[in-house]
Amino acid sequence: MNPPLSPLYFDYAATTPLDLQVKEAMIDCLSDPNLMGNASSITHDYGTHAKSIIEIAKADIRTALNAPSYNTIFTSGATESINLALKGAAFQQKSLGNHIITVKTEHQATLDTCHYLEQNGFDITYLPVKSSGLIDHDSLALALRDDTILVSIMHVNNETGLYQDLGSLSRLLADHQALFHVDAAQSIGKIPVDLNLYDIDLLSFTAHKFYGPKGAGALLVKPMTKLSPQMHGGTQQYRMRAGTLATHQIIGLSHALVLATQNQAKEHKRLLKYKQKVVTELHKIGGIALNGEPAHTIPDILNVCVQDVDGEALMMALYPLAISQGAACSSATTEPSHVLTAMGLSPEECYQSIRLSFGRFTTDDQLSFAIKCLSLEIQKLRKLAHGTRG
């Protein structure tokens, strides 16, 4: 089996390549001299042209997420959106209370921001999850207090692909004063995100997870919801995020979002077949455990514990494939995954786990090659670890 010239990409959960249609839309925007203006400079045509194209992008985003009344704040990505949502809500709502609820399996962007808020006098509850990875709704109900001002939960987990039930979570929070923030970085374009169905106050996402450019994200804010700005220096974006808007990035984000939501159902079916094929083949090898309740995981992400095989060794052995053990943002650490640990896996099981994620440009041939590689290398590493025959 000859390795490909460059590694085959199976790390779509970390980031996705730019879609050609998105790239063309961005180049058109950058190339158009009429769009070179600052969207805040509404005293001349250059500025108003830029502003009008951004307004169209905002309308496209609201339509794609069925959020007609929401305000869109453009950011540099999901990490900034989450920072703005959490710190902005916490400092704005401080007079109403200082208690915030989040979940142990959240992305580092949320956990680190919560740690920062903790150091600044806020009381944070980190909810546990069940072994399936799902939140126990009773424990959320019990954690809610009169002084709870914010609940932040990720829709789809970036390591396991497990999705939480936004409908029941938002119903549970409906009668409470706490704002509900959802980190949708991994869900948009993969499963339906319809803001008309849920009572969500703040929604964070980033374009590079759905074939848009890196450095372009957004925070959707429910009308009348105020956030304390975290970036100072201007009155742009409802005074909640200062700075000149990056017109081409916004165009890239909105184009990518429209494409992703249009193709979502079709892609879901295709990738589900891929995931099922890999799972079937891995089960033939044996000693495989899926991390995350399969019925509640998106087809794009597969996280498996491969018994008797060190995950890092397997990644090295699978050098013709670009895969990872978990979050790219934590890949420099050697600590076991906080997500898998919260789900009850032992450090040994965490170290034996790898993540494959599929996407728009994954092909049948690539998948067959990956399955062959996985099968061969798992068996080789097991022979190496056991030192026995067979």
Partner 1 sequence: MFPKKIIEIYRQIDPKPLWDKVECANHTILSYSAGSRHEGCHIKLQLKLLDSQIIQDTRFSVFGDPFAIAATATFSHWLQGKKLNDIKTFCYDTLIRELEIPQSKTLGAVLVMGILA
The residues assigned a catalytic role are 329
For residue 291, the one-letter residue type is: N
Instruction: Return the number of the residue (265 or 385) whose C-beta is nearest partner 1.
Output: 385
Please list, in sequence order, all residues whose beta carbon lies within 8 angstroms of the beta carbon of residue 380, skipping any fewer than 6 positions away: 317
Interface with partner 1 in residues 73-102 (CB under 8 A): none
Instruction: Return the number of the residue (115 or 386) whose C-beta is nearest partner 1.
Output: 386
Q: How far is the CB of 7 from partner 1 (least distance, A)?
A: 9
Nearest-5° Cα angle at 70, 32 to 236: 55
386 touches partner 1 (CB under 8 A):
yes
Instruction: Walk across the sheet containing 123-127 and list its strands.
Output: 71-75, 217-221, 202-206, 179-183, 148-154, 99-103, 123-127
Instruction: Return the number of the residue (69 or 379) whose C-beta is nearest partner 1.
Output: 379
Q: How far is the CB of 365 from partner 1 (least distance, A)?
A: 23
- Which of 232, 266, 284, 389 is in the footprint of partner 1 by CB under 8 A? 389
Element at 202 (helix H, strand E) = strand 202-206
Pair 50, 38: CB distance under 8 Å: yes
For residue 214, the one-letter residue type is: K
For residue 318, the cross-strand partners are none
Rounded-to-integer distance, Cα 48 and Cα 271, Å:
42
299 to 338: interface string for partner 1, x by CB under 8 A: ---------x-x-xx-xxx-x--------------x----
Q: How far is the CB of 60 from partner 1 (least distance, A)?
A: 37
Residue (of 112, 77, 108, 158) closest to 324 by Cα position: 158
For residue 99, the one-letter residue type is: H
Cα distance from N-terminal residue to C-terminal residue, the chain: 21
Instruction: Return the number of the residue (36 or 315) whose C-beta is nearest partner 1.
Output: 315
Rounded-to-integer distance, Cα 79 and Cα 61, Å:
19
Residue 187 CB neighbours (<10 A): 25
Instruction: Return the number of the residue (38 or 375) whose C-beta is nearest partner 1.
Output: 375
- Which of 42, 141, 328, 384 is in the footprint of partner 1 by CB under 8 A? 384
Interface with partner 1 in residues 341-380 (CB under 8 A): 347-348, 351, 380
Instruction: Return the number of the residue (165 or 310) whose C-beta is nearest partner 1.
Output: 310
For residue 110, the one-letter residue type is: T
> At 386, is the secondary structure helix, strand, or coil?
helix
Interface with partner 1 in residues 41-70 (CB under 8 A): none
Element at 186 (helix H, strand E) = none
Rounded-to-integer distance, Cα 101 and Cα 86, Å:
11
Q: How far is the CB of 312 from partner 1 (least distance, A)?
A: 4
Pair 221, 193: CB distance under 8 Å: no
6 touches partner 1 (CB under 8 A):
no
Q: How far is the CB of 347 from partner 1 (least distance, A)?
A: 8
What is the size of the binding site for partner 1 (CB under 8 A)? Answer: 20
Instruction: Return the number of the residue (285 or 315) whose C-beta is nearest partner 1.
Output: 315
Q: How far is the CB of 174 from partner 1 (least distance, A)?
A: 46
198 touches partner 1 (CB under 8 A):
no
Q: How far is the CB of 326 from partner 1 (least distance, A)?
A: 15
Give the torsion through C-alpha atoms of 66, 237, 329, 274, to 10 deg. Answer: 20
Rounded-to-integer distance, Cα 327 and Cα 157, Å:
10
Residue the block writes with tokens 């009155």: 235
**Which residues here bind partner 1, judged by CB under 8 A?**
308, 310, 312-313, 315-317, 319, 334, 347-348, 351, 380, 383-389
